Amino acid sequence: MSGAAPVYVHGYDASEHQRLHDQAGALEALLHAGTAYPPGSAVLEAGCGVGAQTVVLARNSPQARIVAVDVSPASIAEARRRVEAAGCDNVRVLQADILDLPLAEASFDHVFVCFVLEHLSDPLCALGALRRLLRPGGTITVIEGDHGSAFFHPDHADARAAIACLVELQRRAGGDALIGRRLTRLLQQAGFAGARTAPRTVHADGGCPELAEAFTRRTFAAMVAATRDAALRAGLIAPARFDAGVAALHRTAAADGALCYTFFKTVAVR
């Protein structure tokens, strides 16, 4: 994504691929509720990554024509494998830069963007580029998290410090791990109309141990833990404190614990 300076702080190894699929499975109903596209509509998924959300989109809109793009060759290879394995014959996967897509202007009815803008130094520029690909009256759906929304029981200062390391690393890489709270304004600034943002909150506690395992342990705590080496190299935190923080996050998945996190989903019109 030339000009957007993306740096994916979570990395591209096999464990991150698995984390993304665990996340998609755990959050499918929460994030994708209300998102289905009509038969024959042309849909662009910008920044498809390893195809975790692509498969859900294709399954929920089986008669839509979906083009999924990402800049990472490794991610694209995994996305193609996942799409083929799922039998999604309504998806075409392309390696391309969001700011230089080999696609005609006004050629899509809908654009879907999930967990992408947080990694860009200029999300406004990316939104402008995507807007040009939409037909008049077409819609864009953007989903982002906001790490500042996380709270948990038992509360733990080291856990909050470990999360803060992730936020700071993403800031230094040019992104914004707190972007969820800014989505409405960003879409307005990019020229979209009628932007409406709805919070989608996940609450995992002892009443839903499967969700605590899938989201608290395998998604959120795993995401924080994966930044350990980078955080230590940057001198953001002492090793023992970081490890204590990750352990404290895992502790919140116990029967008497809880983790709450809010995603933000915005829909707007070209």
Q: Answer whether residue 82 is part of any domain.
A: yes
The pLDDT-based confidence of 2 (bands split at 50, 70, 90) is: very low
Whole-number pLDDT of residue 43: 98
Q: Answer whether residue 209 is part of any domain.
A: yes
Say if CB 146 and CB 179 are below 8 A apart: yes
Closest among 69, 93, 70 to 81, alpha carbons compared:
93
Q: Answer whether residue 137 is part of any domain.
A: yes
Q: What is the pTM of this model?
A: 0.90
Closest among 25, 61, 34 to 45, alpha carbons compared:
61
pLDDT single digits (tens) 138-196: 999 999 999 999 999 999 999 999 999 999 999 999 999 999 999 999 999 999 999 99
The pLDDT-based confidence of 27 (bands split at 50, 70, 90) is: confident
Whole-number pLDDT of residue 29: 83
Q: Answer whether residue 2 is part of any domain.
A: no
Work out the average pLDDT over 232-247: 98
Q: Which domain holds residue 173?
A: 14-269
H or E element, residue 108: strand 108-114
- Counting the structural domains of the chain, the total is 1
Cβ within 8 Å of residue 97, ≥6 positions away = 1, 2, 71
Closest among 125, 146, 130, 102 to 264, alpha carbons compared:
146
Distance CA 264, CA 195 (A): 12
What CATH number has the domain bearing residue 78? 3.40.50.150
Phi and psi, residue 253, nearest 5°: -85, -5
